[in-house]
Chains A and B, each alone.
Chain A
Amino acid sequence: MGWDSKLILKDTINALRIISNSKNNCEINLKDISFATPFLITPITAYANSPHKIKYKILNPIDLDCSKYLNVIKFPHSIDTTSLNSMDYNTYLPLFKFSMQNTMYDQKILVVIDKMITSYGLEDNKNIINVFLGELIDNIREHSKSENNFICCQKYKKKLAISIVDRGITIQGSYENAGISFKNDIEALKFALKGKSTKKEFGDERGTGIPNTLNWVCDALKGNLLIVSRNSGVYRENTAKIEFFDLKKDILGFEGTIINIFFEIPNEKIDYLSYVNK
């Protein structure tokens, strides 16, 4: 399978279908999978490591290469900071579990990201990656109330796939907790893209994390970004229209937030500061 631009969408939705199917029998069926990406595996890992302590039986892929790959990226148990120093980041960051309840994790995640960036030949654009991943991780800490969060990355040729998943209260749940009402889940995602903060009492300068991440990933890096939270999602393929979609009709909703990012590693240094909302 090639890494085409729709892969991010197809694999995320496939992950949601696998998760949805597992709800009836507590079986995560990966038998038919022949190619695994972080977009597919990270949401499933977050789901399998359920905060509700439900034990899922995992049916591994029949395809041996795919099955081996899942072992390599530490599916389904993932790794934590204790295994970090021995890891080789040349082409991938295995499923890495982090908890934001423990304050010492902040800098450790950043160290992992920094190692990854250096290994992937992204030195020239180090700051842009550090800044948007930092903002996304900060959002998990500030809003999701989630203890089980996962990040996984895979470099394939010149392309980079990043998936960050939390099992928190979702973007919609965060607005609800702040007493901000909306008519449906898509409207809540629109609030996030409009920069509407749940913490405006701390100042009007809040709410820039997701809009700026979209600018950096889609406009600056010409990449794709997909966010799924509860019963809706938003997708943008480089500078094309922003597309919102509903998951309810297909019963594919996710109890948490998935952020999947896909871009080609640029050859030149990008002036990322010029893409910041002003």
Chain B
Amino acid sequence: MNTISLSKIAKVFSTRQTARQLFEKIIEDKIDALDFKDVEIVSRSFANELINLEKENDFELKKINMNKDVSFMFEYADKKVDSNMLKRTKHRTVSLNKLLA
């Protein structure tokens, strides 16, 4: 198995662009496993982009040593979520003066 240790690159992975760059490297170096040991967190966007790239390219990377937070983000990144805050939270439109008062 050709594994890349991600903590050698960074401990935090946040952006979709980082996922795209990483994926280029994965293809170039024929990597088939990602080692998340010592990676502290990834953003949902990063995880979602990586998963989408895997689907588009029809292959699945093995992901090992994910901590609880990283694992949550990957699990959650692949789900359709209800992000509609306005359904759950009271909201209104106010004048600027009222807001500043």
The answer on a CB contact under 8 Å between B100 and A10 is yes
Residue among B40, B43, B96, B99 with the highest chain A CB neighbour number at 10 A: B43
The answer on a CB contact under 8 Å between B81 and A195 is yes
Task: Add 8 more A-B contacts to A106-B18, A186-B93, A250-B96 (CB < 8 A).
Answer: A106-B15, A110-B14, A138-B15, A138-B17, A194-B87, A195-B82, A242-B85, A276-B72
Within 8 A of B (CB), among A185-212: 186, 190, 193-195, 202-209, 211-212
- Bin the interface of chain A by size: 35 or more
B contact residues, total (Cβ < 8 Å): 42
Known: A106-B18, A142-B16, A273-B72. A204 touches B80 (CB 8 A): yes
State how many angstroms separate the Cβ of A103 from the closest Cβ of chain B.
6
Known: A9-B100, A235-B99. A205 touches B94 (CB 8 A): no
Known: A212-B83, A241-B90. A114 touches B76 (CB 8 A): no
Query: From A130, which residue of chain B is reached at the shortest CB distance?
Result: B12
On chain A, the residues within 8 Å of B94 by CB distance are: 243-245
> Does A137 lie at the interface of the complex (its beta carbon under 8 Å from any beta carbon of B)?
yes
On chain A, the residues within 8 Å of B15 by CB distance are: 106, 134, 137-138, 141
In the assembled complex, the Cα of A212 lies from the Cα of B83 at a distance in Å of 8
The answer on a CB contact under 8 Å between A114 and B12 is yes
The answer on a CB contact under 8 Å between B52 and A247 is no
In the assembled complex, the Cα of A249 lies from the Cα of B94 at a distance in Å of 13
Chain B interfacial positions (CB closer than 8 Å to A): 9-12, 14-18, 21, 40-41, 43-46, 48, 52, 69, 72, 76-87, 89-96, 99-100
Chain A interfacial positions (CB closer than 8 Å to B): 6, 9-10, 13, 100, 103, 106-107, 110, 114, 126-127, 130-131, 133-135, 137-138, 141-142, 186, 190, 193-195, 202-209, 211-212, 214-215, 235, 241-247, 249-250, 252, 273, 276-278
State how many angstroms separate the Cβ of B51 from the closest Cβ of chain A.
8
Query: From B96, which residue of chain A is reached at the shortest CB distance?
Result: A245
On chain B, the residues within 8 Å of A278 by CB distance are: 76, 79, 81-82
On chain A, the residues within 8 Å of B87 by CB distance are: 194
Known: A9-B100, A195-B84, A244-B94. A138 touches B78 (CB 8 A): no
In the assembled complex, the Cα of A208 lies from the Cα of B16 at a distance in Å of 13
